[in-house]
Amino acid sequence: MSQILSVVLNIALAVHVALIAVCVWRVWRGENVIDRLIGADLVGTLMLAVLVLLALILVNATYIDVATGLAALGFVSTIALAKYIADQQMF
Amino acid sequence: MQTLLQLIAILAVILGTVFSVLGVLGFIRLPDVYTRLHATGKVSIFGVVLLLLATVMLTPLGFGKGLVLIALLVIGGPATSHAIGSAAHRIGIPMKRAIRDDLGALEQNQAGE
Amino acid sequence: MHYIRTILILLVIYLALTGNLQPSNIVLGALVAAVATLLLRPQPSRLDWRRLPAATWALIRYIAILAVDVIESGITVARIVLDPKLPIRPGIVAIPSGCSSELGTALSAHALSVTPGELVIGIDDYGVLYTHCLDATHSAEYAAQAQAMRRDLLSKIFV
């Protein structure tokens, strides 16, 4: 059973890394600025998923701490960028 | 017991990966900014939370951390989507294939008065 | 009183993050929570202990209804994305929240946004939620009664 789990985890990791590549391509060739912002936010979320999968593969809970920090930073930075785009000023 | 937990974890990882793929697929296929936001919100709500549920079941130390991260994602995800959608409406990005727009009608009325 | 409540909440989060229950760690967590609470200066709010069981029961029902909503609409959005014809009828629908307090309006907006398929774009001064829906004709019918049920539960949790 644990062998199946290991195979499934590795496949999921590969799929998520491929999805990150697709999202980076969308940020590169976005239609407008909001489209690119959504792409950047999605890259952050998928990176979170990769960190959680690494915590599962390496059986090390420290990666969850890293993921928590990344989630908090990504939340603040996305909202700050959205406010900057809407108002053309930061504060 | 251990085998049952591992089985549930495998199912959660597969479902989470499927929802992540669906979210990115929707991000590519849907026509405009507002509809894409629906698809990307799903990646963070379903994909990552299901993976975190697998982590909570498998690693004994990650229990509290996983629950705190799930709470952070469920509370913060809608706020991020709303910030992006509000910014898009403020700078006037048009909707495609829309059948009604109550907020745009309201703003036109206010501009006319 | 409200200072002690904030300290307790922060202490629980600290213990969940560090993950050990030794007495020295609990003391350190209480110190950190106290310093953070002094910096935050929480505002006092009314809390009636006799209402607590009813509020807890309403909170559990609210979270259960929310979870069922999220799963149901997640499957709906997945079906829309997988459909080759992409059957969407998007539009922005005005949904009156009906809540008197700002906290109730904000929590209603969160509940609407967390379900895929509906996304709150703007809120006006009277508490009307301007919601972008993937299927505007369907959502306009159901949103009003779902919002009425949500408002009843929220008014039981918060006065």
Helix (H) / strand (E) containing B34 = helix B33-42
With a CB cutoff of 8 Å and minimum separation 6, the contacts of B68 are: A68, C13, C16, C17
Nearest residue to C123 (alpha-carbon basis) of C114, C132, C115: C132
Domain of B86 in residue numbering reads as 2-112
* C21 in B contact zone (CB under 8 Å): no
Cβ-based contacts of A56 with chain B (< 8 Å) = 9, 13, 51, 54-55, 58-59
* C91 in B contact zone (CB under 8 Å): yes
> Helix or strand or coil: residue C44?
coil
User: Percentage of chain B surpassing pLDDT 90?
Assistant: 2
Chain B nearest C-alpha distance from A5 (Å): 6
Nearest C-alpha in C relative to B21: C78
Domain of A7 in residue numbering reads as 2-87
Task: Over range B61-85, report the average pLDDT.
Answer: 85
Tell me phi and psi for residue C119, to 5 degrees: -145, 120
ipTM summary value: 0.86
Indicate yes or no: CB of C122 within 8 angstroms of CB of B89.
Answer: yes
CB contact at 8 A, B91 and A86: yes
Chain B nearest C-alpha distance from A26 (Å): 8
Task: Find the helix packing angle between B33-42 and C52-82, rounded to 10°.
Answer: 120
pLDDT tens across A37-86, in order? 888 888 988 998 999 899 888 888 888 889 889 999 989 999 999 889 88
- Chains in touch with B (3+ beta-carbon pairs under 8 Å) read A, C
Q: How many domains does chain A have?
A: 1
Chain A nearest C-alpha distance from B19 (Å): 11
Distance CA B43, CA A47 (A): 12
Task: Find the helix packing angle between C52-82 and C102-114, rounded to 10°.
Answer: 30
Indicate yes or no: CB of A45 within 8 angstroms of CB of B93.
Answer: no
The residue written with tokens 């307790």 in the block is C8
pLDDT in tens, chain C (159 residues): 777 888 888 888 888 888 777 888 889 988 999 898 888 877 776 666 677 777 788 888 888 888 888 888 888 888 888 888 777 778 888 877 777 777 778 888 888 888 777 888 888 777 788 888 887 777 667 777 777 777 777 777 765
Cβ-based contacts of B74 with chain C (< 8 Å) = 114
> Helix or strand or coil: residue B105?
helix
Chain B nearest C-alpha distance from C44 (Å): 23
C-alpha distances out from residue B31 to A19, B86, B91, B96, B108, Å? 19, 18, 18, 7, 25
Q: Which pTM does this prediction carry?
A: 0.85
Q: What distance lies between CA C70 and its chain's CA centroid? A: 12
Kindly state the tokens that stand for C1.
């009183």
Nearest C-alpha in B relative to A9: B13
Distance CA A30, CA C139 (A): 30
**H-type helices in chain C, by residue range?**
2-18, 23-40, 52-82, 102-114, 136-157
- With an 8 Å Cβ cutoff, the interface of chain C facing chain A consists of 17, 19
Q: What distance lies between CA B44 and its chain's CA centroid? A: 4
